[in-house]
Structure formats: C-alpha cells, structure tokens
Amino acid sequence: MKKILAVYYSQTGQAKNILENILKPIFSESEISVTFLKIEPDPDFPFPWTSDEFFNTFPESVAGIPCKLKPFDIDLNENFDLVFLAGQVWYLSPSIPVNSFLKSPEAAVLLKNKPVITVWGTRNMWANAQETVKQRLKEIDSNLIGNIVFMDKHNNLTSVLTIIRWLLDGQKGKSRFLPAAGVSDEEIVSAEKFGPPILKSIQINNFAILQAELLKINAVEINYPILKLEQNGARIFKIWNRIIANRAKKSYNNRIKAVRLFKYYLLFVIFIVSPPAWLVFALRKLLFHKNAKREISYYQNVG
C-alpha cells in the first residue's frame, strides 16, 4: 500500500479543492491511500479580514515568524511515500500558517527524507515564497520533487482589486465591473491533468523526471515582468519590515501606524509605479532574452 499525505492551509477551501482535483486520478487506485492534514492556527486568522488585521500580518509574514498551531491529528510515525504541501502566499512569503507548519517539530518528522510536491494557489506572485520553502525543506532533509502553481490569470491591477474585495468583503464571485477573484473554477477543475504523471511516478517509485513531465502540461507558467516586480518587491519588503519592527519596539500603536503607512505605500506602488515598471521589464526580456530564459527555467524547476 502506497501512502500519500496532503498537507494544506486554507481559509476559503480553495487549496483543498485544488488538491482534491489533482488527486482525482489517484483516489480510484485501491493500492494508494490519501490522508489530508489541515494546518490550523490557534487561534485561526479571521475571514473576511478587516484592513488593519490583514496588513498587520505583514511583519510576521516577511520575517517568517511562526504562529501557534493546533495539535496535528496524525501519527508522526506513519511512513508516507509522497507528501503534498498546498498553501498560499502572504506578502511574497509563505502564509504564516504554512511557514509555521514547516518550522514545527512535527513537520521535521513527517517530511524528513520524503519526496514533497508544493502546490500554490495564489494571485500571481509566488517565486519568493517557493524559494523560502525550498530552503526549509532542505534544512529538514526533504526532497522537493515537484511544484505546481495555480494563479489568477487576470491582469495585475484587476487581480489586486478582486483579491482585496475577496479578503475584506468575502466576495469571490464576479460583480458588475470585476471578474471573480482567485484561481478560476476552470483552472481548479483542470488540475486533474496533473494526477496521471504523479500517479505513474508513485507506482514506479521514481520522481526524477516528474517536474519535467509536469512542465509539459503547464504546471508552472511565469510572466517575466511580474517575476521581476516580485523580486524588487521582496527586497523592499525587508526594508519596510525593519522600519515596522523598530516602530513596534516603542508601542503597539506605533506598529499599527507604521503598518498603515506601509499599506498606502503598497497601494501607491501597485497602481502608480508597477505599470511603467512592468513595461521596463518586458523590454528587458526582449533585450536580454537568454538571461531571462535561464531565470524562467530556474523558477520553473525544483533545483
């Protein structure tokens, strides 16, 4: 009997829905069992969020500070043949619950020497979060053998508006002027296509070429200008995190004031600075095509 562990965090159910569709071709296999493990913060984060609550997670997200988790309802001694880790990105970093799981002693046991496939359900920026997860998996001797990314396919500014509406108002569906938020239902249903190559790798117990097979069916699509915007943003976020941390030393009220200042800065950058910056990076891709191709290849793979 082959055993799969599917670990996930989700406030809306999107991450588990994606996992269930990926695993559809595997559920029918009588010689493979699937165990789902939900990451549960204690207490959980709110949904929908208030604006202050949402932006106040920025410092801990960027700094990688874990939160308390509820005990895991699983036998740590159970030996799994493959592990899925599904989550989302908060401020270009793994969400606090996902990061907290990876830094837990339980994860160090469950994932040690195990092949792991990461699965992201995100707006359009995930590369920096994936690099963080790569490093943590390496630290606990896990073997990252696959990565699948599900994104909102609308343009950058539209996806910002829809995700803010979803997070703060709880409205995922389309409205008069905006499309539905998050990963589309069609994309989630199509996740089933990733099941067969994963199933084959499990059956032959060989994951060496799995990511190459997943890339053939568009497991990781990269918009180069968005990638460069994310890389710049990750560097700036570290500066803002230090600013907020210094303010927080004085008082919690000072922290909130700094967080609000960051919020207005972020919105200014997204709506005013990022459109011309996107054009600059698109031109850079044309002028330095070979370098861009190498960079895209790196982020598409799991090395």
CATH of the domain at 136: 3.40.50.360
Same structural domain for residues 202 and 241? no
**Picking from 14-18, 22-26, 73-77, 252-256, which range would have the lowest pLDDT averaged per residue?**
73-77
Same structural domain for residues 251 and 198? no
Which domain covers residue 283, as residue numbers? Answer: 224-300
Same structural domain for residues 72 and 168? yes
Instruction: Quickly count: other Cβ atoms within 10 Å of residue 241's Cβ.
Output: 18
Position 176 scores a pLDDT of 87
Cβ atoms of residues 98 and 68 within 8 Å: no
Which residue, among 209, 155, 284, has the nearest Cα to 293 in the 3D structure? Answer: 284
The domain boundary residue, chosen from 216, 240, 261: 216
In tens, the pLDDT along 104-145 reads 999 999 999 999 999 999 999 999 999 999 999 999 999 999
Per-residue CA distances from 162 to 24, 93, 166, 243, 295 (Å): 29, 20, 6, 29, 29
Same structural domain for residues 168 and 61? yes
Q: What is the dihedral of CA 97, 220, 191, 9, to 10 degrees?
A: 0
Same structural domain for residues 146 and 176? yes
Same structural domain for residues 37 and 181? yes
Same structural domain for residues 159 and 255? no
Position 28 scores a pLDDT of 87
The domain boundary residue, chosen from 167, 186, 216: 216
Q: Is the dihedral of CA 129, 132, 138, 139 positive or negative?
A: negative
pTM of the predicted model over 0.85: yes
Domain count for the chain: 2
